[in-house]
C-alpha cells in the first residue's frame, strides 16, 4: 500500500494564526498533568472558544504547580466558580478531574513561541456573566 503524503499535507492543518487580542468565552476541553521542561509539574489545559467568529477554535494554557505560580491556577478556578478554592489539601488529581467542562472568559493576546510559531497568551480570567453576551467582550 502506498502513502499519499500530498493529501496528508493538504489536510494536516496546524497553520493557524493566533486569535486577535480580545476577551473570549472558553470551556475546558482537556486537562493533563505533565512535567514542564524545568522539571516542575504543570496542568496542561486545552480550551475551546464557545461562541462567535472563532467558535470551536482551541487555545492552550499551562498552569505550573509551584508556590509562586499557584495564584494563576487559583485565579482560573475562582473565575470558573469552582468549590476547590475553599478547600485545604486539594490533591493535583482532584484538580485535573474537576477542570473539564469549566467555563470562563479570558483575555488573549497574540504572541509567538520560542520557535517562532503563533500562539495566544491567556490571562485575566473572569466568570461568565449570567447575562450572556457575545464571545468577544469589551
Query: pLDDT by residue (tens digit) across 39-77?
Result: 999 999 999 999 999 999 999 999 999 999 999 999 999
Q: In this structure, are residues 132 and 51 in contact, taking their beta carbons and an 8 Å threshold? A: no
pTM for this model (two decimals): 0.82
User: 122: Cβ–Cβ under 8 A, 6 or more apart, which residues?
Assistant: 26, 47, 59, 61, 106, 107, 108
**89 is in which domain, residue-wise?**
17-126
Note whether residue 1 is domain-resident: no
Mean pLDDT of all residues in 28-43: 95
Note whether residue 2 is domain-resident: no
DSSP string, 44-87: EEEEEE-SSTTTT-EEEEEEE-STTTHHHHHHHHHHTT-GGGG-
The domain that holds 112 is classified in CATH as 2.40.50
Grid coordinates of 102: 469549566
Note whether residue 110 is domain-resident: yes
The pLDDT score that the predictor gives to residue 28 is 98
Note whether residue 131 is domain-resident: no
- How many structural domains comprise the chain? 1
Note whether residue 136 is domain-resident: no
Amino acid at each position: 500500500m502506498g502513502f499519499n503524503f500530498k493529501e496528508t499535507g493538504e489536510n494536516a492543518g496546524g497553520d493557524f494564526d493566533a486569535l486577535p487580542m480580545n476577551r473570549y468565552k472558553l470551556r475546558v476541553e482537556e486537562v493533563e498533568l505533565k512535567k514542564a521542561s524545568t522539571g516542575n509539574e504543570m496542568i496542561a489545559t486545552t480550551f475551546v472558544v464557545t461562541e462567535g467568529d472563532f467558535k470551536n477554535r482551541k487555545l492552550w494554557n499551562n498552569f505550573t504547580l509551584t508556590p509562586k505560580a499557584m495564584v494563576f491556577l487559583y485565579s482560573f478556578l475562582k473565575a470558573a466558580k469552582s468549590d476547590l478554592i475553599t478547600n485545604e489539601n486539594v490533591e493535583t488529581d482532584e484538580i485535573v478531574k474537576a477542570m473539564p467542562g469549566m467555563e470562563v472568559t479570558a483575555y488573549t493576546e497574540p504572541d509567538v513561541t520560542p520557535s517562532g510559531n503563533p500562539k495566544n497568551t491567556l490571562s485575566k480570567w473572569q466568570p461568565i456573566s449570567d447575562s450572556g453576551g457575545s464571545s468577544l467582550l469589551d
